Chain A
């Protein structure tokens, strides 16, 4: 219960009790006063009546008329005359119900009024006694009217008090709401500074403290960010061209080869520059460096439409463009554009194109290629280009397997699988090496449609992307995951790696939202979603909308394939993932300084680092030495044993 409600309830209770007490005291006091007043009035009247009756005591008709006249012209319940000789007794009574007063009130009030008595004497003759009881109906009516008025006053007072209290509490507790919002933001690792300083001393001190804390953490993040950028440049960037270096390329290659895309692989371009000595001699070192920088710009410009590319300067005169999702035709066109723009650059610097030129070797690879095959074949293409007198570009293309299925065959298989849900869910664990406990499961899926219809995710994802079926495929599998019980998931966390194409599809967002709305509450495990680092960097706004949707249902979010390729880690602050997953090789390749900078960032944002593809216990030990305990990969089998 919120503080507002607690204070509201307590104060309301006090107000109601106080007003109620005042009402009861008022009511009781008024009741006593009225009864007393009626008794006194009756006592006053009886004196006159007894005098009149004294004169009439000898004549019964006179006596009766006197009593009737008195009774009819006043407010009496009863006038009773009892004569001493018992011959001329007379009584007038009115026991009618009190009009205008409900019976329950009469019963509740229960007024007992004493009768007033007086002797009737004529001279020395004691004629009798008259007993008079005032009309309690007046008291009932007056009390009922007062009761209703008090009730109105009570209701109006309580409602008014509630309104005033509510406004007052809202006003007084407004700073506390802001403190609460700031506290929530801190818990979510968001850097929220409260600009409005509360008037109340206690709140003011809390806000000062929290602001100072947030500023410190933000400062730590910013310093970490700067340090990470610096270290990344030192470790993975060529200082002249600002392109990546060979070390970074080699780290990324295995990820890039397997990257999900439409082209089912991509193209690697080796570019070798001839005449570097001439260039240095003719332009001088500084201008030559400027020309290399401009060359880097040309590479970036030509393949800017590819998000997941890596452009690296592998040595002084050789460059590599690793471009996943790029087919042979596009690659050839890019090679021609690079060649053409290089010629323009040579001409601009007044160099001889016969002395200073570039040679391009292109290799169109499939995801099944190994790193050494990739490099060897690209090198062969480059060598071929060097020896060919007619052109400086050579393309070596990996032909499709003759037995490979065609587009329509894939369409049939995938659509069939979507319609009949042939997808089989698979889970593999992410462990905490320190506690040897399960951190979360990662979900993937295969197609299991019977004999000759069994395929791994890697087999059908490229055709699915090409055919635009990724979103439907994911929705079916997510529906299966959420609606079917999977015992291994009970009470745990299940993480799903979302395909980039799924996130780009706006309809998928709506379907996911509908799915969550319908089933989120029924889940007996927690969901978590992952997107690739490069996608998160280049599509931060789109990913943010998904993150907001996940947060609404208290689902987790993480970034996978993290390679620190961004020059600014602010996107992590923006997306606030719970974890980042990075290849073990990448993590182990980090220098002490760069790892330290990365950990400053992750610690300041409350992000956990998960190492993937951890194969050996040696690697595990090294990771643990770096305080990385969440592990994915073959080594988890060894830990489990």
Chain B
């Protein structure tokens, strides 16, 4: 009888636990503080207790904008400087933990936070684009695209979450994105080698 009571208790606790608790756990917070600084831990706490908690029942537009803004506060640093590699896809935990990363790391973090907020990953695309800087230079870049409708037919149906812009604007209003090279799925389609590595890292909560 005791066993059944314990089993029920565990089942009940698991069910009332907020979903975001799965993304940011207590051991992760301790680990982040130990590995980095208290600031690192605070970033995770802010993400969990403010951003995700507050946005849970908000509309999609608000979610997209708030998440984009929150993530964009993190400093930009190239992979070469942070990881010593020319190209590296950091997990959301590494990115927020270190408090720095490049355009792909912003995209990945936004993807997982929005997914946590309940946005369908099928609407989220990793997009390889050419970004024209203010100085007029073409730069290889990655952004997160949100499809307002499942099968968008015009540019305004796609919202762009970019580390160069605080707002999630429709693609039609992003004249600085001069070319779209490729849109790839997150974890909803065929998974590439990089995706598999990233998924494994996310599962392990790799800091």
Contacts and interface: CB of A to CB of B under 8 A. Distances in A.
Interface string B128-152: 1110000001111100000000000
Contacts of B184: 69, 72-73
B192 A68 contact: no
A73 B140 contact: no
Interface residues of B, number: 21
Contacts of B129: 65
A76 interface: yes
Contacts of A66: 128, 181-182
A73 B192 contact: yes
A62 B200 contact: no
A25 interface: no
Interface string B32-54: 00000000000000000000000
Interface string A52-90: 000000011110111011111111100000000000000
Interface in A445-488: none
- Output the residue of B89, B137, B181, B197 with the most chain A CB within 10 A: B181
B193 interface: yes
Interface in A135-186: 135, 137
The B interface, classified by DSSP as helix, strand, loop or mixed, is: strand
B87 interface: yes
A72 B186 CA distance: 11
- Output the residue of B126, B179, B200 with the most chain A CB within 10 A: B179
B140 A68 contact: yes
A526 B135 CA distance: 110
Contacts of B89: 72
Contact of B139 (A61, A71, A75, A94): A61
B88 to A, nearest CB: 10
Contacts of B181: 62, 65-66, 69
B160 to A, nearest CB: 15
B193 A94 contact: yes
Contacts of A71: 87, 194
Name the interface size band of chain A. Answer: 20 to 34
A99 B192 CA distance: 14
B194 A62 contact: no
Contacts of B137: 61
Contacts, number: 56
B140 A64 contact: yes
B193 A61 contact: no
A71 B195 CA distance: 11
A31 B6 CA distance: 51
A117 interface: no
Given A59-B130, A73-B184, A99-B200, A65 B141 contact: yes
Contacts of A61: 130, 137-140
Contact of B130 (A65, A72, A92, A96): A65
Interface string A76-114: 100000000000000010101001000000000000000
Nearest to B138: A61
A73 B182 contact: yes
B31 to A, nearest CB: 21
A66 B138 CA distance: 13
Interface string B147-187: 00000000000000000000000000000000101101000
A461 to B, nearest CB: 78
Nearest to A91: B86
A137 B181 CA distance: 27
B87 A68 contact: yes
Given A62-B181, A75-B192, A137-B193, A68 B139 contact: no
A555 B89 CA distance: 84
Contacts of A68: 87, 128, 140
Contacts of A137: 193
A488 to B, nearest CB: 79
A75 B128 contact: no
A60 B182 CA distance: 16
A62 B87 contact: no
A137 B140 CA distance: 28
Given A61-B139, A64-B140, A69 B182 contact: yes
Nearest to B182: A69
Contacts of B126: 72
Contacts of A64: 140
Given A62-B181, A135-B193, A92 B141 contact: no
A127 to B, nearest CB: 17
Interface string B87-130: 10100000000000000000000000000000000000010111
Interface in A119-134: none
A375 to B, nearest CB: 98
B181 to A, nearest CB: 5
Contacts of B194: 71-73
Given A92-B87, A99-B200, A65 B193 contact: no
Contacts of B200: 99
Contact of B179 (A60, A62, A96): A62
Contacts of A96: 197
Contact of A74 (B128, B179, B192): B192
A68 B87 CA distance: 9
Given A65-B129, A66-B181, A68-B128, A75 B193 contact: yes
Contact of A72 (B86, B139, B192): B192
A96 B198 CA distance: 13
A252 B15 CA distance: 105
Given A61-B130, A62-B130, A65-B141, A74 B182 contact: no
Contact of A76 (B138, B182, B193): B193
Interface in B24-78: none
A82 to B, nearest CB: 16
A65 B87 contact: no
B193 A74 contact: yes
A69 B87 contact: no
A75 B190 CA distance: 11
Nearest to A92: B87
25 contacts: A59-B130, A59-B138, A60-B138, A61-B137, A61-B138, A61-B140, A64-B140, A65-B181, A66-B128, A66-B181, A69-B181, A70-B182, A72-B89, A72-B184, A73-B182, A73-B184, A73-B192, A74-B192, A75-B192, A76-B193, A92-B86, A94-B193, A99-B197, A135-B193, A137-B193
Given A65-B130, A72-B89, A73-B182, 6 more contacts: A61-B130, A62-B140, A65-B141, A69-B128, A69-B184, A99-B197
The 9 lowest CB-CB distance pairs between A and B, nearest first, are: A69-B182, A69-B128, A61-B138, A65-B140, A64-B140, A65-B181, A61-B140, A73-B192, A73-B184
Interface of B: 86-87, 89, 126, 128-130, 137-141, 179, 181-182, 184, 192-194, 197, 200
